[in-house]
């Protein structure tokens, strides 16, 4: 694979990343200090819907396009979109100074309730339990929904815990989880002036 991109400059927490493999071709533009506007076209409608929810409630401006081998299945496209989005997030975040570092959120959607907890730890780690029962939602395999989060966390270099605590409808459960992720990210990357590097190690890189 090849991954290229431009990171934050002049204090702007923005990035552009392109990821090209034999399986997918992805372009991502991200602004961590946005208003939640987004244009997302992964080729998988339900994945677009989930990333839109994360962007909107995270106040993260996001433009993402993907041309993937959907004639095979959804795996490469969903996974690589998560990886490219995580790489863009990492580049945009920059030196990880003067941020709150931790964020958490509970978000309901009708009967469903999800919790997301984020640590901008610089150690990619994801622990996801969405308790989904269906094989697919739209054209996205349910097994890939949590995997998108895992892929994102790996390249973003964050520790991520997302759990769906209750719910009956799988669409509601997944959407509440991505909304919670967005809100938790917004909290974790928000300004904490004077915090310096929020680690007793003195570095988060």
| CA angle in degrees (0–180, nearest 5) for 145-60-68 | 45
Where does 85-191 show beta strands of DSSP type E?
A: 102-109, 112-119, 125-129, 136-137, 140-141, 159-166
In angstroms, the CA 15 to CA 11 distance is 12
Q: Summarize pLDDT for 139-172 with one digit per residue, the tens.
A: 999 999 999 999 999 999 999 999 999 999 999 9
What tokens does 10 get? 């002049």
**CB of 175 within 8 A of CB of 145?**
no
pLDDT of residue 123: 94
In 65-104, which positions are buried (b, 16+ CB within 10 angstroms) versus exposed (e)? ebebbbeeebbbbbbbbbbbbbbbbbbbbbebeebbbebe
Q: Summarize pLDDT for 20-74 with one digit per residue, the tens.
A: 999 999 999 999 999 999 999 999 999 999 999 999 999 999 999 999 999 999 9
Predicted TM-score (pTM) of the model is 0.92
pLDDT of residue 201: 60
In angstroms, the CA 65 to CA 185 distance is 22
């Amino acid at each position: 694979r090849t991954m290229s991109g431009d990171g934050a400059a002049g204090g702007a927490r923005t990035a552009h990343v392109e990821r090209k493999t034999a399986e997918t071709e992805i372009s991502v533009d991200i602004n961590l200090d946005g208003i939640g506007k987004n244009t997302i076209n992964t080729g998988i409608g339900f994945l677009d819907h989930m990333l839109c929810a994360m962007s909107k409630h995270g106040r993260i401006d996001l433009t993402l396009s993907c041309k993937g081998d959907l004639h095979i299945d959804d795996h490469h496209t969903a996974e690589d979109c998560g990886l490219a989005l995580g790489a863009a997030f990492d580049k945009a975040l920059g030196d990880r100074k003067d941020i709150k570092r931790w964020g958490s959120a509970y978000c309901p959607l009708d009967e469903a309730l999800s919790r997301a907890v984020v640590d901008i730890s610089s150690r990619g780690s994801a622990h996801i339990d969405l308790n989904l029962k269906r094989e697919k939602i739209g054209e996205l395999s349910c097994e890939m929904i949590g995997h998108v989060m895992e892929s994102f966390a790996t390249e973003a270099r964050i520790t991520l815990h997302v759990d769906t605590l209750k719910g009956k409808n799988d669409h509601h459960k997944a959407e509440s989880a991505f909304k919670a992720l967005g809100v938790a990210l917004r909290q974790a990357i928000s300004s904490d002036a004077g915090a310096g590097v929020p680690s007793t190690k003195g570095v988060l890189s």
